[in-house]
Amino acid sequence: MSDQVLEKTSQKGGEARCPGEPTTQEIIANDKVKAPGWVCSENYEFMGDEDISSDRYIRADYAQKEYDNLWARTWQFACREEHIPEVGDYYVYDLGRYSFIVTRVADDKIQAYYNACLHRGTKLRPSNSEGYAEEFKCPFHGWSWNIDGSNKDVICEWDFPHVEKEKFGLPQVRVETLAGFVFINMDANAPSLEEYMGPEFMAHINSWGLENRYIALHVTKMIPANWKLNMEAFMEAYHVIETHPQVAVSNGDANSQYDTYGEHVNRFISTLGVISPHLRGQYTEQDILDQFTVGDSSVLAGADRKLAEGETARQRMADMLRSMFSAAADADLSGVSDSEILDCFSYTLFPNTFLFPGISLPMVYRFRPHPTDHRQSLYEVFFLRPVPQTGPRPDPASPIHLEPHQSFKEAEGMDPGFGDILDQDTENLLLQQQGLEASAKPGITLGNYQEIRIRHFEYAVDKYVAGK
Ligand code: FES
């Protein structure tokens, strides 16, 4: 028996790591500009190794339970504060059959209403719309509400003596803001957003300054797969060597780090500028540097890519990206660590949001179920860039809605290399949805470490769907 197999059989579930390779923390510890505490920490916990049932991805009745027990009880990212900067600005957030008007009612107060008239139910504002309102007036018979939700007018009031206007305010959902994000929750009894996210994550997000970012690019696309499959495609780096071979040369994929925080947050850290363990020994440091790509490759145009003797690709990339992103964003990044400049940090906020607080890959993802088809889901990619230090704050980019057959590269402003990656990530999903429906096996099998985020996420799904 080989040493490797002996080692494996003597380990408990979840203890094994990519053999013979530096850990993410060891790679980061060698950086020149040191990383802060939220980077230099680990929080993995083994959660079992049973299969996860496939019903959740393929059954319409499961999706209905999610509407009733999961979506109705969880905090969800509805919009950014920058979408509604002035009193009267509103943004319609739709979630399946649900729809909400999120509006600023005072400089320091945001409220959200069920987007439905209290007369005969007509939506007060169309789905996916946004704008400015002095009142919310129903397009059918003209009942209207003030932006604070109080009833303003009932047409032919003489015919509605049974309607007490003071009791006909628009029903509200809870609203809280965090780091420039506006979250809503339909559940009056849900914990606060801070309690829901947990103390570890709150310490992380409060150090990122995401409130000082703006939406530079927003792309949406309907994907032919259940929303949970769509999300899970982005929860691990295990797929990189097979799905994205063009970036594996400069991506520590099999030695990425995975962490869980409470019930609702998990993350990975995937180091860049280092060789994939799958390709160890096949490429030089110069090769790694030459093949490195980043979310916005235009910032590297014209850069000197010749390494000096003993210099590492990772250090050169961190130095180059720091100066280039500083210039591009008119921002001072001198105190930002190499890891934050370079690496991919991916956090899932249950149920449907990913935050990437790094500098080179500054995305937010949001996933929503299709209103009537559990086999489709809406995938949204936002790029959040630092607000320039001078000049007015840029307006948030309007969404670019791609058709299902279009490439992400067709979205104006999308880096072609990153568009390729998103295409590769999403092209597997139809096959996965169809394969799960065709399978003789009733569940999916997960790796103990590299796929812990999926198990952690699905355990939370199970808990909510069970009504716990
Ligand atoms: Fe809205 Fe009649 S349905 S006023």
* 219 confidence band (pLDDT: 50, 70, 90): very high
Residue 298 pLDDT > 60: no
Best probe residue, ligand 1, of 115, 120, 157 (max atoms within 8 Å of C-beta): 120
- Residue 5 pLDDT grade (very low, low, confident, very high; cuts 50, 70, 90): very low
Helix (H) or strand (E) holding 258: strand 251-261
Same structural domain, 378 and 408:
yes
**CATH classification at residue 302:** 3.90.380
For residue 96, the CA-to-ligand 1 centroid distance in Å is: 22
CA torsion sign for 209, 211, 215, 219 is positive
Whose CA is closest to atom 2 on ligand 1? 141
Answer yes or no: do 132 and 226 share one domain. Answer: no
Structure confidence at residue 6 (pLDDT): 43
What residue's CA is closest to ligand 1, atom 4? 141
If asked whether residues 347 and 413 sit together in one domain, one would say yes
What tokens were used for 378?
């809406």
* Atom number, ligand 1, closest to the C-alpha of residue 143: 4
For residue 159, the CA-to-ligand 1 centroid distance in Å is: 14
Q: Is residue 452 part of a domain?
A: yes
Give the pocket of ligand 1 (CB within 6 Å).
117, 119-120, 122, 138, 140-143
Q: Quick one: 228 and 156 in the same domain?
A: no
Whether residues 236 and 130 share a domain: the answer is no
Residue 24 has pLDDT above 90, yes or no: yes
Whether residue 351 is preceded by a cis peptide bond, meaning omega within 30 degrees of 0, is: yes
* Residue after which a domain boundary falls, among 122, 155, 189: 189
Please write the tens of the pLDDT for every residue from 256-270: 999 999 999 999 999
List C-alpha distances in Å: 159 to 117, 140, 155, 163, 336: 17, 16, 9, 9, 65
Domain count, the chain: 2
Cα–Cα distance for residue pair 316/330, rounded to 1 Å: 21
Q: Is residue 50 part of a domain?
A: yes
Q: Say yes or no to pLDDT of 297 above 80.
A: no
* Ligand 1 atom with minimal separation from the 141 CA: 4
Q: Give pLDDT tens digits for 392-407.
A: 999 999 999 999 999 9
Residues 297 and 363 in one domain: yes
* Direct distance between the N- and C-terminal alpha carbons of the chain, in angstroms, rounded to an integer: 46
For residue 107, report the distance from its CA to the centre of ligand 1, in Å: 30
Residue 361 resides in a domain? yes
**Structural domain contains residue 203:** no
pLDDT of residue 3: 46
Choose the final residue of a domain: 136, 155, 189.
189
Residues 381 and 234 in one domain: yes
354 is a domain residue: yes
Range of the domain at 98: 76-189
Between CA 121 and CA 128 the distance in angstroms is 18
Residue type, 227: W
What number does the ligand 1 atom closest to the CA of 122 have? 3
Q: What percent of the chain has pLDDT over 90?
A: 85
Percent of the chain with pLDDT over 70: 96
- pLDDT for the residue 301: 61
Ligand 1 pocket, mutate which of 113, 118, 119 (most atoms under 8 A from CB): 119
Q: What's the CA-to-centroid distance between 162 and ligand 1, angstroms?
A: 16
pLDDT in tens, 132-146: 999 999 999 999 999
7 pLDDT higher than 70: no
Is residue 50 located within the same domain as residue 151?
Answer: no
CA 76 to chain centre: 11
In a domain, 80, yes or no: yes
Report residue 361's pLDDT band, with 50, 70 and 90 as the boundaries.
Answer: confident
Burial class (CB within 10 angstroms; exposed 0-12, middle 13-18, buried 19+) of 126: exposed
Ligand 1 mean position, distance from CA 137 (Å): 9
Say if residue 145 is exposed, middle or buried (CB neighbours under 10 Å; 0-12, 13-18, 19+). Answer: buried
What average pLDDT is seen over the chain? 93
CA 447 to centroid of ligand 1, rounded, Å: 53
CATH number of the domain within which 185 lies: 2.102.10.10
Residue bearing the CA closest to ligand 1, atom 3? 120
Return all residues near 285 (Cβ < 8 A) that are at least 6 apart.
Answer: 307, 311, 312, 313
Contact call for residues 332 and 48 (beta carbons, < 8 A) = no
Which residues in 244-277 are b (16+ Cβ under 10 Å) and which e?
beebbbbbbbbbbbbbbbbbbbbbbbbbbbbbbb
Q: Does 269 share its domain with 394? A: yes
Q: Do residues 217 and 365 both lie within one domain?
A: yes
Whether residue 459 sits in one domain with residue 378: yes
Note the pLDDT of residue 119.
Answer: 98
pLDDT at residue 374 above 50? yes
Q: What is the mean pLDDT of residues 35-62?
A: 97
Taking the C-alpha atoms of residue 237 and residue 259, their distance in angstroms, rounded to an integer, is: 13
Residue 60: its pLDDT value, please? 97
How far does the centroid of ligand 1 lie from the alpha carbon of residue 399, in Å? 30
Instruction: Using most ligand atoms within 8 A of CB, pick from 118, 124, 138 the residue to mutate for ligand 1.
Output: 138
Phi/psi for 220 (5° steps) reads: -125, 150
Q: Which phi and psi angles does 105 have, rounded to 5°?
A: -100, -15
**pTM for this one?**
0.94
Identify the CA nearest to 114 among candidates 76, 170, 174: 170
Angle at 181 between CA 179 and CA 184, to 5 degrees: 130
Does residue 201 form part of some domain? no
Ligand 1 centre and the CA of 116: distance in Å? 9
Q: Distance, CA 35 to ligand 1 centroid (Å)?
A: 56
> Are residues 177 and 132 part of one domain?
yes
Q: Which residues lie below 8 Å from residue 308, measured CB to CB, with a gap of 6+? A: none
pLDDT at residue 202 is higher than 90: yes
CA 288 to chain centre: 28
**Which residue type occupies 171?**
P
Q: In angstroms, rounded to a whole number, what is the distance separating the alpha carbons of residues 458 and 83?
A: 31
Residue 159, pLDDT above cutoff 90:
yes
Residue to probe by mutation, ligand 1, list 122, 124, 135, 156, most atoms within 8 Å of CB = 122
Provide the 3-class DSSP secondary structure of residue 80: strand
Q: Which ligand 1 atom minimizes the distance to the CA of 120?
A: 3
pLDDT at 140: 98
pLDDT at 305: 78
pLDDT for the residue numbered 302: 64
Other beta carbons less than 10 A from residue 423's beta carbon:
15
Ligand 1 atom nearest to 142, measured from its CA = 4
In-domain check, residue 64:
no
Find out whether 109 and 205 touch, Cβ atoms under 8 Å: no
Q: Which helix (H) or strand (E) holds 89?
A: strand 89-95
Q: How far is the CA of 119 from the centre of ligand 1 (A)?
A: 5
Residue 311 has pLDDT above 80, yes or no: yes
pLDDT at 359 over 90: no
Of 189, 223, 245, the position where a domain reaches its end is 189
